[in-house]
Amino acid sequence: MIFCEETIPVSTWTEAQAKRGLPFSGQAVRVLGGLALAALIYVGVRNQGHWQLLLVFGLLFGFILQRGRFCFASAFRDLFLLGEARVMKGILAGLAVATVGFTLVMYTFSPTIMAGRYIATANILPLGFHTLLAGVVFAIGMSLAGGCISGNLYRIGEGYVASAVALLGIFIGLLLLGYTWDFWWTASVSYSPKIWFPQSMGYVGSMLLTLLLVGISFIALLWWESRSRRHGIPIREAAAVESPGLGGQVRAMASRVFVDSWPVVTAGVLLGGLNTALFLLHHPWGVTGALYQMADAAATPLGLSPGTLTGLASLGGACNVGSERGEAFGLSHDSMIVGGMVLGSFVAASGAGEFKIRVPRQKRRLLQALIGGILMGYASALALGCTLGAFFSAVPSLALNGWLFAVGLLGGSYVGVKILRRLA
Amino acid sequence: MGETVPVVKLDVRGEICPYPMFKASEAMKKAKGSEVIEVLTDHPPALLTIPHEAVKLGWDVSIQRVASAEWKLTLTKSQVSKEGKT
């Protein structure tokens, strides 16, 4: 992978080196503990159809997110903060893979395209003013919280206390949107059209158009990086010095997978592929719906539940709230994905010696995380998905709403960077 | 390498992106002469962002693991010119 045309010498750094030499305290115990807990849940939900499979998907998502440090917040933020697009390129790689995969899945589900008919499980969402606004608000929130919703989920697995606070904020924000849903429903959502490319240009044309847009975005990123003269700098790994015996090779390979962080494009491609497989099984990757159900279930005994949201049942998408209510503790099969993500990240971080309970020393960082979380929760319910459901799974659904949400995310990240600089 | 190089210590443990990089960058820009900056962090992404920023500003980086999930980045003013060959 070459990020820039000029090669700048990087001195002695290699991550593997940095991590060698010291024992990881409690590492094995935590890895085994995490796997044991996963196994326990796996056995516990054995009577629940494909809950087990969704747990496995969640674990894999969490593992890959942690290993690839696949952070949507930094992908958008670093464009403006550093003029750098390293992580964004990984996201585009994932979008390209999923676009091909989703097209095949949708074609298989519904080879004939009819006017006014959409694939219910695809993330084809109403496209309107609220989509753009939600993108802006979401991105300000993720800048403040230092991670988007999936980012905070995997950070919880790494031991970040501030991320747990952000998740609390997300729950609050989701409920706040629930209380004000009727306003947005009347003001924008109810009359917003769904724009699904296949209805005007068929599957192949839509796939090619989406891939073209991803390609143009990639070129635009290269231009953006050259313009700001701030290139991504390839970190060269020092050549392995161990003897290349079989044992040494296996150890080096294991170290690459479990200890070194992965190239972000590798993570993006894997996540795009996995997202396709999940779509085939269930619906595309998203966490907003499951989190809303949990928030709603927690609020109900307090008499704070927003109740059924007008018109939502007809919308589909990541935020299919309202379906499956009434299951114990608000746990639906989607919560297997959420829980799996936290647990998968915990196992990955423990294995890599990156797990640590971290409490920010400045208490205002906790407030920052809470406010960021509230903004993200509110915006994700408004957009009917977060950076996953309304973007990473929406663009490959060949729908326009994913792109509009991304434009909002760009705008919000620009504002977010300005705010972050003041909070240093 | 001189023996009496002043060492600036920067403890950014507990901070998450982008602050470890912000603070390291600030310290490098403020540095005069041949100081060495030691940054202590527990945020793994900073092991990528700080070296990136350091190299842009013409500093060399070495990383040492000092505890479970804690790292010390030693930043030294680069001896190699930016235009140097690989």
* Cβ-Cβ contacts under 8 Å, B44 against chain A: 69, 158, 261, 352, 354
Across the range A152-170, mean pLDDT stands at: 97
Instruction: Compute the nearest-CA separation of A320 from chain B (Å).
Output: 32
pLDDT value of residue A243: 62
Taking 80 as the threshold, does the pLDDT of residue A257 lie above it?
Answer: yes
The verdict on a CB contact (< 8 Å) between B65 and A12 is no
> What digits encode the pLDDT tens for the residues A341-355?
999 999 999 999 899
Nearest-angstrom CA–CA distance, B44 and A351? 13
Q: Kindly state the tokens that stand for A374.
A: 């509230």
pLDDT digit string, tens, across residues A48-78: 778 899 999 999 999 999 999 999 999 999 9
Task: Please tell me which of the candidates B43, B65, B80 has its beta carbon nearest to residue A9.
Answer: B80
Instruction: Answer yes or no: do B86 and A353 touch at CB < 8 A.
Output: no
Each residue's pLDDT tens digit, A165-183: 999 999 999 999 999 999 9
Instruction: Measure A380 CA to nearest chain B CA, in Å.
Output: 22
**ipTM summary value:** 0.83
**pLDDT at position A274 over 90:** yes
- The sign one gets for the Cα dihedral A332, A336, A337, A343 is positive
Model confidence band, residue A323 (pLDDT cutoffs 50, 70, 90): very low
Contact A365 B15 (CB under 8 A): yes
Q: What is the pTM of this model?
A: 0.89
Res B3: pLDDT: 58
Average model confidence (pLDDT) for chain A?
86
B54 touches chain A (CB under 8 A): no
Just list the catalytic residues of B.
17
For CA atoms A179, A182, A183, A185, the dihedral sign is positive
CA dist., res. A380 & res. A395, Å (int): 16
Query: Euclidean distance between the first and final Cα of chain B, in Å?
Result: 22
**Contact (CB<8Å) B23/A362:** no
Interface of A with B in 250-279 (CB under 8 A): 261
Give, in order, the Cα–Cα distances in Å from A112 to each of A98, A99, A107, A206: 21, 18, 8, 14
Residues of B in contact with A264 (CB under 8 A): none
Which residue among B13, B66, B69 sits closest to A355, beta carbon to beta carbon? B69
Where does the pLDDT of residue A321 fall: very low under 50, low under 70, confident under 90, or very high at 90 and above?
very low
Which residue from A13, A230, A359 is facing B51, i.e. has the nearest CB?
A13
Residues of chain A above pLDDT 70, percent: 86
Is the bond preceding B18 in cis, omega lying within 30 degrees of 0?
A: yes
Q: What angle do CA A404, A184, A122 make, to 5 degrees?
A: 50
Q: Name the pLDDT band for A24 (thresholds 50, 70, 90).
A: low
Q: Considering CB atoms only, which of A25, A84, A261 is closest to B68? A: A25
